[in-house]
A and B are shown apart, each in its own frame.
Chain A
Amino acid sequence: MTLRLAIPALLILAVAAIPFAAPQLQLLMNLALAKGIAVVGVTVLLRAGQVSFGHALYFAIAAYAAAFLSASMPGADLALVLLVAISGAVLSGIVVGLFVVRYRGIFFGMLNLAFSMIFWSILEKFYHYTGGADGIRLPRPTVFGMALERGPFELIMFYLSVALVLLLGWFTIRWFASPTGQIFQTIKTNETRLQYLGVSPQRALLSGYILSAALCGTGGVIMGIVQGVVTPEFAWWIRSGEMVFIAVLGGAGSVAGAFVGAVIYEAVRVYASAFAGDIWQLVLGGFLLVIILFAPKGVIGIYDAALARLTGKGLTGKGRSE
């Protein structure tokens, strides 16, 4: 097995061993994996040269859809909750997407932000339905009809998250390499040629936008179920900014980078806030500054460069880690 395959395999095994080897890290890692899936959604759009500052919208829509379903159908099964939540994110992604895909650059980014803030306001102001700033509980769903205790349920959620990371990460990488994914990525370089190939750039962007909404929604519903409560903070602009932050930290455009970035971000956030009190944002900001200045391809770029040095093979643009 080559080093290029062995290192990711070892990392996956290490993550899978956490509930037994270091159970105190299980929750932190689960939240990082949920965020990582959502960050892949932002990463998808970065591949088309678009930055969304409002993708927490889909994170929140899926989480609230799960919470509303669980409230109206106590004991709803986990599979049903996930299906409804992700469908909610996809449907809203189609509706919002049809509007925002007509815009590019800063207008695209800010329109997404506007939609997310409108949703945040609705969550905050319609107290009787949404619980306002306190949010609403998301009781533990049943798993194949069984109501589980907290410990086993959290274990199932952890391994479900690991499985989703692998499945969705694999799917997204395959999608990037597919004709649809490649056409989507040409939006970054030449929309004129795209039109002269008989392709609607709006439709091409919409395909990736829906995928990104689905990924953000998946991250959001996992986060909601693991935390057991959903709040308007899920849709807050800082959450959207955090996703972009992690995407850049991990390596803009890299699927693996999204997960690595999410784990580093959560670790720095938790430990810096524990040991450095009020200056944890300063630590994170400094960390990102160093990355942007000295490793513009993010953590995954550092990894690729180190791997190239170890294996003695030069890196080409097509040889980087996805």
Chain B
Amino acid sequence: MSEILLEARNLQISFGGVVAADDVSLAIERGKNLAIIGPNGAGKTTFLNICTGWIKPTRGRVYFEGQDVTPLPPRRIVRLGVARAFQIPQLFTEHTALENLLISAAAREQLGNPLQDLHRIRERAEMLHLLDMVGCADVADRLVVELSEGQRKLVDIAVALALRPKLLLMDEPTSGVASSEKFKVMEILVKALAEAKVTSVFVEHDMGIVSRYADEVAVWAAGRLQMQGSPEEILRHPDVIRDVIGEAV
């Protein structure tokens, strides 16, 4: 029997008159890659924000490994094993790619020796390996502001993976990446996730990527979870083709 890693129950939240989550219930199984699709403004990012404690629902609960994490701040939820990568990479812009990962490792290990050099922590080799896994080993010593958007996305995901999470939530991992690079980025990413044995949820607009890399797809519209199922089943559904895709994949 499959094991539920994260479960959202009856989430509800509105911003002004806009309903961003309307009785949303969703279970994420351990070991799966779940894609969330839907038009802009459907509430996909809001769902990630609620799951990570960034915003609190007016109703409903979020459970991670059976523990109610709804009232916890993001940092406490992260410590339980939920990491996040962002649509716009959230990196430390005055640091290099490697330093971003080293800081993540230092946060994970809660290193506190005031005389220890960040560059000489025991986790350095592990972080270099992680950068290699996401295909960014050659830019390890470059400031992240000097990297391409695709590289920044990958470093952002590597920073999240450096926490050794059980679940990684990614908001549009290929947005801003050149069309020709998207599949390459996802290929690297899915391989890295498999190696790290991380369950993932990713918001995505590119149905080609969803059909190739997702184990399961959830469809969002107007703050509601419309349907959930396998990519084959969902991407051929007439309602999804009409409202989300526009044409069959």
- Are the CB atoms of B75 and A199 closer together than 8 Å? yes
In the assembled complex, the CB of B94 is this many whole angstroms from the nearest CB of chain A, namely: 5
C-alpha spacing A317/B99, complex, angstroms? 14
- Are the CB atoms of A195 and B73 closer together than 8 Å? yes
Q: Does residue B4 face the partner (Cβ distance < 8 Å to A)?
A: no
Interface set, chain A 140-197, CB cutoff 8 A to B: 171, 174-175, 177-183, 185-186, 188-190, 192-197
- As a 0/1 sequence over residues 48 to 80 of chain B, the CB contacts with chain A under 8 angstroms (1 = contact) are 000010000000000000000000011110110
C-alpha spacing A322/B113, complex, angstroms? 20
- As a 0/1 sequence over residues 89 to 121 of chain B, the CB contacts with chain A under 8 angstroms (1 = contact) are 011111110010011101110011111111101
- Are the CB atoms of A197 and B99 closer together than 8 Å? no
Q: Does residue B13 face the partner (Cβ distance < 8 Å to A)?
A: no
Q: Does residue B84 face the partner (Cβ distance < 8 Å to A)?
A: yes
- Are the CB atoms of A198 and B108 closer together than 8 Å? yes
- Are the CB atoms of A185 and B163 closer together than 8 Å? no
C-alpha spacing A112/B187, complex, angstroms? 51
| Given A175-B114, A186-B103: A195 touches B159 (CB 8 Å cut-off) | no
Q: Which residues of A contact B95 (CB under 8 A)?
A: 182, 186, 189
For chain B, give the interface size range: 35 or more
| Given A183-B107, A186-B92, A193-B90: A198 touches B143 (CB 8 Å cut-off) | no
- Are the CB atoms of B103 and A195 closer together than 8 Å? no
In the assembled complex, the CB of B92 is this many whole angstroms from the nearest CB of chain A, namely: 5
Q: Which residues of A contact B160 (CB under 8 A)?
A: 196
Partner of A185, one of B94, B117, B143, B159: B94
In the assembled complex, the CB of B86 is this many whole angstroms from the nearest CB of chain A, namely: 8
Q: Which residue of B lies closest to A47 (CB)?
A: B94
| Given A179-B111, A189-B93, A317-B143: A197 touches B104 (CB 8 Å cut-off) | yes
- Are the CB atoms of A180 and B103 closer together than 8 Å? no
- Are the CB atoms of B93 and A190 closer together than 8 Å? yes
In the assembled complex, the CB of B21 is this many whole angstroms from the nearest CB of chain A, namely: 20
Q: Does residue B83 face the partner (Cβ distance < 8 Å to A)?
A: yes
Apart from A178-B118, A196-B78: 4 A-B pairs, beta carbons within 8 A: A178-B117, A186-B92, A196-B160, A317-B143
Chain A residues within 8 Å of B, Cβ to Cβ: 171, 174-175, 177-183, 185-186, 188-190, 192-200, 317-318
